[in-house]
Structure 1
């Protein structure tokens, strides 16, 4: 084993927490910095008065033996979700072809997608190694030891703080954000250039709840399928959240806009986006009822269109590393592999 190091990890999604827990298991000291109020990244779950919405990643598959082994540490937390009713729809909501056959299990943590990352992060949180609502603004050589790093941060109350004494810094965040931080130090320029060809598309996500469906003799509204890929110009994916195990009975839908439409309407007023997506949802599903709950969320960096092509980047001499699902693709497992392989190289 190498000499124990003090390592800062920026981000708290799947790649970040996988990297952090692997480094801790190898005997290193880790501090995780996350600008949001909780861990999870795009494995996110939004609460509402009518139940939860997995408004980021919808499910995950398991193809890598290392991921399968890691999941055994939280046995029973993740459950199979029967997605064999998924269909590919045309722009009018008609079934055009079978899609996503059950060739491999589709898994969802319970009670929400964020439960897996939260479970893996709990030992770090309990140890006081996770700084939430802390945005890293710049990285720079440590004022007392130029061979180490310090992080300049801002908090939720706009307070500023400098964290010092890190032997290495790992950026487990979307590549444009990683590029921006790497640009704050001359030592990061080489790594930043290697990510120039990466392309990640945005996504507007709509969340709807229809509690009126929970009545005697009425269990669902609209179509009998629970998830669908769509060729509608506005919508790429729809999921009946209440069909997932452990999610509650109230009928809820998560609707993800297409990459092209999301990009075209990236800076639109959220209310306008919501109205347009509800209209498209009605066209596809035939559900004309007024939702009791509706909201939208904009993901600036949702689905990788052009990946890096390597699981991670590491400049061992400078003590800088980069990881994330965008290194390999856009799947949850891609994020896991990226964070794991970076940690193993550092360790």
Structure 2
């Protein structure tokens, strides 16, 4: 058989040339997307406005121990997420609060939230350890730019068919990063929407994500280092995590009950979406006082905490998701991903970033 008569199916096609891709946001969605693209041979740069990777899977370190003040735990339901976790042995451990209690407004246990077979998992020594571990190869290669906020997306000045990003860093220093074939916004939907509008780019993508709604959350962190270790189980309730119907509080967790953490008695308390929305712009000290009062009402712990701080998440829990794994404008080559596409779980963020990368590939 001559080459001319060889069936087309036997011809080997060349793999597509590597593309330069910018990923804005280094939470679990952004890092899952960036790693998948990098493993496929593309040149990826991740831009993160904070000091490190993690997003809402963040950990606050204090002199009394750490607080997972964002995502408290995760469950595993998708085989792809399970496989990714298996690639990071030693980082993930089950948390004994697998059966979360449900409390009434007076703090009384009325039910259990999840069946005992669905385990709660945490990263050690803090929730941010998982995303930072996955981001490490990108960081080592100089592809993770932290404390770098993207402020505008615009056509590349030298190659208009590509994109350039205007950024601000420490000390309000500005810079332009150019030559990107594709841009992925792995940030909260409201932030992605605002960036697209201010940049006057991709009306199609802007319209796709406009209906998404994500509620805010005030988070309270408390430490009681004065409590002697032998009496720890006697301080407050005999459960480690609970959902509450109290008008201010939606979630409480004993941080010291998580594996790999300091044993100093610590609690993370997350306010309800409704209460957080009403008090979003309140003074932090006023919010702290109100949440400490609610905490004592729910748990019965009246001791004065030597450490008490609050953190405001403007975008925390999705109330109106996109309804699909990602948003993509193929003609503009701009996409968006995040847990808000599917829901609000950590696994949703991972799957969204993965699916976004596969759509690009």
1:70 aligns with 2:52: no
Residue pairs, 1:111-126, within 5 angstroms: 111-126=125-140
Distance 1:318 1:290, change over 3 A: same
TM value normalised by structure 1: 0.98
SS at match of 1:237: strand
- The equivalent residue for 1:336 is 350
CA apart distance, 1:61: 0.6
- The equivalent residue for 2:191 is 177
- The equivalent residue for 2:9 is none
Query: Are 1:202 and 1:266, in contact at CA under 8 Å, matched by a contact in 2?
Result: yes
- Pick one of 145, 152, 172 that aligns with 1:138: 152
Query: Are 2:98 and 2:119, in contact at CA under 8 Å, matched by a contact in 1?
Result: no
1:196 aligns with 2:210: yes
CA apart distance, 1:218: 4.2
Structure 1: tracts of 5 or more residues without a match: none
Structure of larger gyration radius: 2
CA apart distance, 1:181: 1.3
TM value normalised by structure 2: 0.94
CA apart distance, 1:185: 3.8
Q: Could you tell me how far apart the structure 1 residues matched to 2:115 and 2:310 are?
A: 29
- Pick one of 52, 65, 73 that aligns with 1:59: 73
Query: Are 1:83 and 1:102, in contact at CA under 8 Å, matched by a contact in 2?
Result: no
- The equivalent residue for 2:337 is 323
Q: Could you tell me how far apart the structure 2 residues matched to 1:328 and 1:218 are?
A: 39
- Pick one of 228, 231, 245 that aligns with 1:231: 245
- The equivalent residue for 1:263 is 277
Deviations 1:157-199 (A, max 9, x none): 0011000000010000001110111113444111011112111
Structure 2: tracts of 5 or more residues without a match: 1-14
Distance 1:2 1:93, change over 3 A: same
Query: Are 1:55 and 1:205, in contact at CA under 8 Å, matched by a contact in 2?
Result: yes
